[in-house]
Amino acid sequence: MASPRVRIPRDQVPPGHSLCEYCTAKCCRYIALPIDPPESPREFDYIRWYLLHENISVFTEDDDWYLVVHTPCRHLQPDHRCGIYETRPRICREYSTDNCEYDDTDTYERYFETAQQLEEYQEAVCQPRGRSIRSPKPPLLPVLS
């Protein structure tokens, strides 16, 4: 069973303490991999395929696209600490709490959890040239005399 953590505002972390002491290790519960932004129907279909799998989402940040695999690190301990801290990978060593997700205030430009969400986005922004997503203009009504 995980030990309870008392969340305090970032600016109230006591001197000499790590922000991680008050966190539930959100950063250790997924991996985000950069992917090429889709530019064709075929590329959208690849991303749609990703989203058909469990525990997968896609988000964008500054026009960069990322595939997210929602899965915890196998070395994350019940107390939310790293079980291999002394030998953790370089990416973990270089990670900083300066811009981490502790505050949970970040939002994404685009966030897709389902293939349908991606399809709706593709339909809204990627129309063939000369086609509009709007309904056709209805014919004028006849003038009655």
Q: Which of 91-105, 111-125, 131-145 has the highest mean pLDDT?
A: 111-125
| 49 assigned to some structural domain | yes
Instruction: Provide the mean pLDDT of the chain.
Output: 89
Task: Please give the pLDDT value at position 18.
Answer: 86
Q: What is the pLDDT of residues 17-35, one digit of tens each?
A: 888 888 889 999 999 999 9
| 133 assigned to some structural domain | no
| 5 assigned to some structural domain | no
| 58 assigned to some structural domain | yes
| 126 assigned to some structural domain | no
Note if the pTM is more than 0.85.
no
| 3 assigned to some structural domain | no
| 28 assigned to some structural domain | yes
18 backbone φψ class: left, alpha, beta (φ>0; ψ -120 to 50): beta
> For residue 45, is pLDDT > 60?
yes
* Full DSSP string of 54-114: TTEEEEEETTEEEEEE----TTB-TTS-BTTGGG--HHHHH--GGG-STT-----SEEE-S
Beta bridge partners of 33: 67
Task: Please give the pLDDT value at position 134.
Answer: 65
Rounded distance, CA 9 to CA 65, Å?
A: 30
Number of domains within the chain: 1
Task: Write out the residue range of the structural domain in which residue 37 sits.
Answer: 14-113
Q: Name residues whose C-beta falls within 8 Å of residue 30's C-beta, 6 or more positions apart in sequence.
A: 68, 69, 70, 71, 72
Nearest to 110 by CA among 69, 145, 62: 62
Q: Which amino acid is at 71?
A: T
> For residue 131, is pLDDT > 80?
no
> For residue 145, is pLDDT > 60?
yes
Task: Please give the pLDDT value at position 106.
Answer: 73
Q: What is the pLDDT of residues 65-93, one digit of tens each?
A: 999 999 999 999 999 999 999 999 999 99
